[in-house]
Chain A
Amino acid sequence: METNPIQYEELELLLNDLYKRYGYDFTEYSKASLHRRVQRLYTLDNFPSFAEFRYRLQSDSHYFRRFVEEITVNVTEMLRDPSFYRTLRTTILPILATYPFIRIWHAGCSTGEEVYSMAILLKEAGLLHKALLYGTDINPLVIEKARKGIFPVSQMQKYSENYIQSGGVKDFSTYYTANYHLAKFDSGLTGKMIFSTHNLVSDFSFNEFQLILCRNVLIYFERELQAKVFKLFDYSLENFGYLALGSKESLRFSSIADRYRQVGREKIWRKVHEAG
């Protein structure tokens, strides 16, 4: 148990500092989780006082980079929630297949497992050749990892189970080459991906998509920020495009909800009207 808890008022001060100094705005993140992450970093790096922590963040931009890397929650998995991916296979991809060119955006993609999962589905549906997958995240470190497409071999058994549950019928291991404890995914998949940093709080729309996935990112945002991000997605989505959220997230309370229809029981919504 650490003995030096950061007060919520102190956290507010810190977030205001960071916004002024670096332009990164975390002030509308859900505080309970953010507080926990900041507290964890503060304890891990052994700061004797909050004042010194605050000063270090003000004065050392490298340390601020570490802050961004550490306070974001980058946990992810391939084919997480297999039933979600099954619905993509059976319901969404057949419709995307009718487009001459498919653009997909993974917002908050972390180390890219979700993007590789999607590429596998597209490949099996014979659509990868006409698709482009954009993966973005606020954290530059995870984006570097995503570009490499190298994941721990120790995860592969789990992923292969997810793959089968999602309706996959191949041998999952044909998608990667294992080397000691690392699995490098097929460059044929990586070739269709573009990874870049992008901050959902402050950066603009950069293209129009038929499918946007933003899973387990909005749980970290307060309502007003969620509303802003939903507008960004709405603006970036073609009419009749799809928006997919995490299994505990919903469009229900958002201002764009009345122009979207949920697809079955999964957290996937289809845009049925353009904004008026």
Chain B
Amino acid sequence: MKQDNKLIVNAGSAGSLQVVLAVLTAMGKDYPIPVLVVLHRNNTFESSLEELFASRTRLVIKEVEEKDAIQPGVVYISPADYHVLIEQDRTFSLDYSERVNYSRPSIDVTFRSAAEVYGSGLIALLLSGGNADGAEGMQWVRDGGGLTIVQDPQTAEVPYMPQQVLLRMTVDIVAPTEELPELIHSLAYK
């Protein structure tokens, strides 16, 4: 059963890479929801991120290109130094505007845009990180009716980012690191 009215966005900063990898691995090869990964990355040196991801999942890994149509079975990765936005027709747009929360890509920017398009079909997961990016975005996800999940700060390598969310709002799920892969996997079949 393909679910293209849904999108899951995994977002994080410092300390989130291993968690993202574990989540992707647990998705298996038939995960029915398209996946977008937004990571703060340190520029061009990490262009091998795609290879790393590909080694851990059987889903197709693709760096977002402008106007790509969002498809299930694909894990899209935000390119370094562009914001990722989503159009009403469920294609990606890239934007080279000012940094937001010192970040480009900014998680806030993507969460908000995804919430506007996917509404209650959006699942937003915010992981470990050292800045406040993503906290406001989570509020947009909630207001749009989407599912909000944060990594339990107590189990996050860098707790600050998920903490900032919890200071602002109550989320649907706070999950410890080791439960996240199974949780995300199970959501697809609800």
Contacts and interface: CB of A to CB of B under 8 A. Distances in A.
Interface in A71-101: 73, 75
Contact of A33 (B67, B93, B136): B93
Interface in B61-98: 65-67, 79, 82, 85-88, 93-98
Contacts of A223: 67
A249 interface: yes
B140 interface: yes
B147 interface: no
B163 interface: no
Contacts of A249: 66
Interface residues of A, number: 19
Contacts of B66: 219, 248-249
Contacts of A30: 85, 87, 93
Given A36-B85, A36-B109, A248-B79, A216 B96 contact: yes
Contacts of A248: 65-66, 79, 82, 94
- Of B67, B82, B98, the most chain A CB neighbours within 10 A belong to B67
Contact of B94 (A8, A31, A219, A253): A219
Given A248-B66, A250-B65, A33 B140 contact: no
B131 interface: no
B114 to A, nearest CB: 10
A205 B87 CA distance: 30
Interface in A29-44: 30-33, 36-37
B16 interface: no
B113 to A, nearest CB: 6
Interface of A: 1, 8, 30-33, 36-37, 73, 75, 216, 219-220, 223, 246, 248-250, 253
11 contacts: A1-B136, A8-B88, A32-B86, A32-B93, A36-B97, A73-B97, A75-B96, A75-B97, A220-B95, A246-B96, A253-B67
Q: Which 6 A-B pairs rank lowest in CB-CB distance, beginning with the nearest?
A: A32-B85, A73-B97, A33-B95, A30-B93, A216-B96, A32-B93
